[in-house]
Amino acid sequence: MRAKREEITPSRGVFTRRALLVLATQAGVLGVLGKKLYDLQVHEGDHLRDLAARNRTSKRLLAPARGRSLIALACSLPVTR
């Protein structure tokens, strides 16, 4: 015969061990994410800002990928090579 479970009484407390474990795990994960965000913004912010600026103002000369150009009168424009 199985033993009866104890009834939860107000004197036992609101949180169980499992709830405290879940709360501690969530707090730990949130702390790790917060530290990583802090490191990215405060410690590596200048470096990442420079990289983003270089990405935004990339100077590359690219030849246009197009065929023969026609003007309004259906005459072809001269092709330069």
Write the pLDDT tens digit of every residue in 14-41.
678 888 999 999 999 999 999 999 999 9
Q: What is the mean pLDDT of the chain?
A: 79
Q: How far apart are CA 68 and CA 78, in angstroms?
A: 9
As given in the structure block, the two tokens for residue 17 are 């061990």
Give the type of residue at 70.
L
- CA 17-19-32 angle, to 5 degrees, is 110
pTM for the predicted model, two decimal places: 0.49
Ramachandran area for residue 13 (φ above 0: left; ψ -120 to 50: alpha; else beta): left
pLDDT at position 54, please?
85
Is the pLDDT at 11 greater than 60, yes or no? no
pLDDT at position 30, please?
98
Is the pLDDT at 79 greater than 70, yes or no? no
pLDDT at position 60, please?
75
